[in-house]
Structures are given as structure tokens and as C-alpha cells.
Structure 1
Amino acid sequence: MIGRINIAICDDEKIHVELLERYVHNWAKKNNIKLGIEFFHSAEAFDFSWSMDKRYHILLLDIQMPGINGIELAKRIRKSDNLLNIIFITAIPDFIGEGYDVSAINYLIKPIEEKKLYECLDKAVQKVPKKEKTILIDVEGETIRIKQEDIIYIEAFSHTVDINTVSEKYATRKNIGIIENELEQNAFVRCHRSYIVGLKHIKRIGKTDIELDNGDVIPVSRRLYTNTNMAFIKYFRGEIN
């Protein structure tokens, strides 16, 4: 279990917010969980807070709200964040099918049953990474959180850096040296002045290039070959985690 679970409640009805708050505190006390809890009375308010700081692990999200509804907010979130555990709260079950598109934990129908909320929170907290490492980058004015284990390699250009992951590529102006310092030391290696590679994604190392498990081939410099090869061998022997 991680040290603290941060939960956000987004609902425009005060009576439901107060009920959820009481249930969540009861659940945390029962499970001896340190809790951080915040409240938002509109999707826009949560969206602004989340865009500035992705500190939340679980979001209890009402669907029917003025302005942006819960489904629309969840779709926005999923464009750049697959880690946030979303539990929908709704008075009617009409939107249940759309939850599959945003990987929701579950739907809870109002009035909320405390036991069912506990079951959803138990499931959500199991999905919260215990020691998962992430990095934050700025992409066209948005802050994106990337799981380090998903990074295949990083390539630096004159003014930008491409972060190639298992699902997509992100272009940022963040300096490759700064990114390198934020990465898990035993999981990555600098193989070239313009490249950092994730050790778990290496398929083959040659004298001049590296083949990756996604089929890409990147260069390895003569100066860094020995260090890169040794890091690769130690990683797959289990000598480093």
C-alpha cells in the first residue's frame, strides 16, 4: 500500500458530496489508510486543478452536472492520463455503456450504498501503483504524466525531445539531461548523446546500434557502448532492478 491515497469528489449536489465524504472517511479509517480528500462542484473546477497537478489516485465523478458532464470530463482525462481511477456516480443507469470507453472502475447508482462504495474503493486502491515511477512533461501547454516503464527510448533534437512509449510519441521542449535525472537510474541508460533507452525494451545490442522490442533501431556511440552493454546484461540477469 502506498503511504497516502488522494481522492477527489466531483459532484454539484452538496448533500451527495457530504454523504460520499463520510463514507470515504469511514472506509479509510476501517482500512487504516492515510487519506487526502478534495471536493469539486463542477467538472470545470476539477479539470483545472487536475491539469495543474495530477496528484489524485481516485476520482468519484458525478455524471449529470451543469456544463461539462462527467462522461465528457472522463474522456478529457483519458487523452493524457490512464492512471487515474474513475468511479462514476449517477442517478440513472443510461450512461453505463460509455464507461467502458474511459476504463471506469464501476458505476454507483444514487442513493449510494456504503458497502458498494467500499467495494469500488477497494478495487481502485489495488490498482494504485505501489512504487510506480512517472515523469511529468509539458506538451503544447498541457502537463502529461508518463509511466517510466512505458518509455522505450528518448531522442533529443535541436529544440525538442521525443519520448517514444509503448502507446504513442510525445514531443516536449524539456531538456534531455533534466529528463535523464528524473528517470529510474537502473532502468535506463544513455547510449548516445542524443538517446536514452529503456533497458527492458532492448532486444539486441550491436557495436553501432540497438534494436528495440517495437522494431525501432537507434544508435549506440562507441564511447558509450561498453557501459550500455553492461547495463543491459546486468538488467536481464537480475543484478539490478
Structure 2
Amino acid sequence: MRILICDDDPLMVEQLHNYIQFYFEHHHIKCPEIVSFSCGEDLLADNGEKDLVFLDIEMPGVNGIYVGNELKKQNKNILIFVVTSYAEYLDDAMRFHVFRYLSKPLDLSRFFRNMKDALVYFNAITVKIPIETKQMTYIFPASQIIAVEAQGRKVIVHTTSQNFVSVQNMNYWAELLPKNCFFQTHRSFIVNFKHVTDFDHTTVHLTDQQLTAYLTRRKYSAFKNAYFLYLESTR
């Protein structure tokens, strides 16, 4: 993981840097690389990985709204924290799916809660999942798995590139896949919230309705609540 800070206020940069380090030390986790920038142009020119960004809005040169939109074009999975004193920018920030909106001055407890949410989500979309078939084992990011489907005695893993016949059963997949991103809608289906396009009381459509999963009626409310929670965590 690589964490970036972009703010023209050196005191805010220092505070964010200290808060990030404190969070990882507090949880006894090795702190990832933290890189700071004082303007959006320098941030956009950086060629390194951009996983989590703390982004000011009002800066010299291009503003944070422009930078945020460009970052999302480069990497739709990037997690952006908008850090500003100006609440009027919230609507513009939400258009590029900002992960969280943090007001200045920063509150440490709120910062910790949002960092936890960000890391849970980051780990869920970057974790690698082994798909073992009779021929070989393939490794995919969890985000690229659309659904797991039981077809008679076969278990099919649908991914964004192709489908695989797994040697593992549905119970194995139900235990393996991250619970905050996947939901078992029916004994024959486990779906990835990321790829849900719409649903009703009996079916869930995935990947622009190219795949349809059954939804057990008694699981409808639990699925809906879990899906809305997932959407909230990615905003």
C-alpha cells in the first residue's frame, strides 16, 4: 500500500502524516510508504502506486476537484479522502466517488474510524484468491470474481475474464470470500456486491445483466442491508 497526502498547508501535511503513523503504530501494523505533495500537479505527475489519497480542495494551481477526477480516471479503485474546511465542495467531491469527507480541524477518533473502514475495503478489493481447477490453480484479485455458482455437481467461478470449474465446493467458497464484499444469496450462488447492477425479491443481476443469480426470499432483507452497507463504505 502507498498513501499520498496533497495539501499546500505544511502544518496539515504534518498532522496527517502523524495521524497516519499513529494509527498504524496503535494497531501494531507496519506503516506503509507515505508521500506528500504541496500541489495537485506534482501529485498527478507521480508515477508510483496511488492506493489511498488525502486530498485538499483549495490549492494553488489545479484544485482538488480536478485532481480527484483525474485520479479516478487513472484508477477507479483509488480511495480518496477529501480534507477541507469548505463544505460547499462536498457535492463536487461526491461526483468522483470520494471515499470519505474529513473536515478541518481533524478529529482523531473520527480519523481512526475512517482509516479502519478504508483499510478493510482496500484489503477486500486487493486480496488475491486462488481458484483451483483440475488443470491448474489461477490467482485472481477478489474484485475480479463476479460470482460463484453451483451447477449440479459443478462449482463455477465467474470472473471478469473467464469462467472456471473449481475443485472446491460452495462451503469452501462461502468461508473463503470476504464477507463485506460477497453474499450467499442462495445455496447455488455467492455474489460480489461490486458487480451487482440491480435486484428484486428473487433475483440479482450482475455485470450489466449478463449473469443472473437466485435470491432466496427470506434472505432479501439481509442482502439489501448488506449491499447498502457496502455502497456506503465505498462512497
TM-score scaled to structure 2, two decimals? 0.55
Q: Return the alpha-carbon distance in structure 1 between the equivalents of residues 148 and 119 of structure 2.
A: 32
Alpha carbons 1:187, 1:199 under 8 Å: kept: no
Long gaps (5+) in structure 1: 135-183, 189-197, 204-211, 215-227
Residue 117 (structure 2) aligns with:
123
Distance, in Å, in 1 between the alignment partners of 2:79 and 2:55 is: 10
Contact 1:27 / 1:118 at 8 angstroms: preserved in 2? yes
Please, which of 3, 24, 41 is the counterpart of residue 28 of structure 1? Answer: 24
Pairwise CA RMSD = 3.8
Residue by residue over 1:33-90, the C-alpha shift from the partner in whole angstroms, topping out at 9 and shown as x without a partner, is 22221111111111111xx22x232111101101111111110111131211100011
CA gap 1:185/1:200 in 2 versus in 1, 3 angstroms:
farther
Q: How does 1:150-229 map to 2 (within 5 A)?
A: 186=138
CA gap of 1:237–1:71, structure 2 versus 1, over 3 A, is same
- Counterpart amino acid of 1:94? E
Which among 100, 103, 106 is matched to residue 97 of structure 2? 103
> Aligned to 1:39, what secondary structure does the other structure show?
strand
Q: Which has the larger radius of gyration?
A: 1
Aligned equivalents of 1:99, 1:69: Cα separation in 2: 11
Query: Shift in Å at residue 99 of structure 1?
Result: 2.2
The aligned amino acid for 1:186 is Y
Greater Cα offset, 62-71 or 116-125: 116-125
Q: Unpaired runs of 5+ in structure 2? A: 129-135, 150-157, 177-235
1:232 aligns with 2:164: yes
Match of 1:44 among 31, 41, 44: 41
What is the number of equivalent residue pairs in this alignment?
158
Report the Cα distance in structure 2 between the residues aligned to 1:19 and 1:12, rounded to whole angstroms.
13
Q: Distance in 1 between matches of 2:95 and 2:145?
A: 32
Residues 1:60 and 2:54 aligned together: yes
Residues 174-227 of structure 1 deviation map (CA, whole Å, 9 limit, x = unaligned): xxxxxxxxxx95268xxxxxxxxx996899xxxxxxxx999xxxxxxxxxxxxx
- Following the alignment from structure 2 to structure 1, what is the Cα–Cα distance between the partners of residues 56 and 145? 41
Residue by residue over 1:119-173, the C-alpha shift from the partner in whole angstroms, topping out at 9 and shown as x without a partner, is 2211111111357379xxxxxxxxxxxxxxxxxxxxxxxxxxxxxxxxxxxxxxx
CA distance in 1, matches of 2:75, 2:67: 12
Letter in 1 for 2:110: K
Which residue in the other structure is 1:80 paired with?
74
